[in-house]
Amino acid sequence: MELWYTEQHTENVRFSILVEKQLFQGQSDFQRVDVFESKEFGKFFTLDGLMMVTEKDEFIYHDMIVHIPMATNPNIKKVLVIGAGDGGTVRELCRYSTIEHIDMVEIDKMVVDISLEYFPITACSLDDPRVSIYYEDGLKFVRSKDNEYDLIIVDSTDPFGPGEGLFTREFYGNCYHALNETGILVNQHENPYYDTYQHSMKRAHKRIKELFPVTKVYQAHIPTYPSGHWLFGYASKGIDPIKDLQADYWNGLNLTTKYYNTDLHIGCFMLPNYVKEQLEHVSE
């Protein structure tokens, strides 16, 4: 007998992983949560059937969503993380002793609960004394914040479920207001390859571009996400991710990373022509 997990990447494309066993299945107020064990990717979990985190490739996503902004502004002290219930983003942030406080806002407690139980690899820093966890809608949390954060990381699901509100103008508008004058916003930015994702990617980019003076997009290769080619958005009120890169400072921290390095930092902003073209035409 073979048990396969299959995600429908598009109507016509499927991605499958051979599953050893299912470790958890639950329905929260917001979504269905499943945890599986596999030979190829180790443990992984899905939300409403969509791949979120695997033990084998999570480092790529978490390296890229955290170290890019952290190497750009060494003075980041207060961080807001939205989503990120698996804890991987917080784990990477906690490696910086210069960070004083992290607010993590995850709408679904069940995601944190299963991460604590099955994914100590990502959830290991959620008990760091600098971390406060709030279980509420990120859109609500950010609405009342004013000039408070140096960095906001939007580590959300796709915009087809509870994450939908995190791809909207009202959300980015409130984020802008919650950031201080050197603030940086980094968000997971979907993939540029398949049509359905492409559409949300362009919309998110358009909304951010209308608000922030500096907006750049960077990329990484994430094997278990649709098309494998994933984008991140970088936006700030002034700090440029390439010109202001503090390479010597960051290398002096001696952090060991499996994916990120300061050469890749510059390289990841160099986009393929078809992606550049999509981003240039978002306002049309």
Partner 1 sequence: MTKRDQSQTLIVDAMQHEIDQRIVSFDVPGHKQGKGNPMLRDFLGDKAIHYDLNSRKTLDNLCHPTGVIYQAECIAAEAFNAGHAFFIVNGTTAAVQTMIMSVCKAGDKIILPRNVHRSAINALILSGAIPVYVNPGIDKKLGIGLGMAKKDIEEAILANPDAKAVFVNNPTYYGICADLKGIVQLAHSYGVKVLVDEAHGTHFYFGENLPVSAMAAGADMAAVSMHKTGGSLTQSSFLLIQNKADMGHVRQILNLTHTTSGSYLLLASLDISRKHLALEGVSVFNKVCKLTKYAREEMKKIPGYLVYDEALINGDTIGNVDPTKLSIYTKDIGLTGIEVYDILRDEYDIQIEFGDLGSILAIISVGDTSLMVERLLAALTDIKRKYKKDPSGMLDHEYIQPTIIRSPREAFYAETEVVPIKESAGRIMAEMIMAYPPGIPIAAPGELMSEEIIEMIFYAKSKGSFITGIEDTSITNIHVLKEDN
Q: Residue 119 or 167: which CB sits closer to partner 1? A: 167
Report the residue number, 76 or 142, with the smaller CB distance to partner 1: 142
Which residue in the set 171, 194, 225, 232 belongs to the binding site for partner 1 (CB under 8 A)? 171
Q: Is 1 exposed, middle or buried (0-12, 13-18, 19+ CB in 10 A)?
A: exposed
Binding span for partner 1 by CB under 8 A among 65-73, 90-98, 112-120, 171-179: 171-179
Work out whether 104 is an interface residue with partner 1 (CB under 8 A). no
- Is there binding between residue 174 and partner 1 (CB under 8 A)? yes
Interface with partner 1 includes 168 (CB under 8 A)?
yes
Q: Is 248 a catalytic residue?
A: no
- Position among 69, 83, 159, 162 found at the interface with partner 1 (CB under 8 A): 162
Contact flag: residue 152 with partner 1 (CB under 8 A):
no
**111-140: which residues touch partner 1 (CB under 8 A)?**
137, 139-140
| CA dist., res. 198 & res. 173, Å (int) | 22
User: Binding residues for partner 1, per CB under 8 A?
Assistant: 137, 139-140, 142-144, 162, 164-165, 168-171, 173-174, 177
The catalytic site residues sit at 155
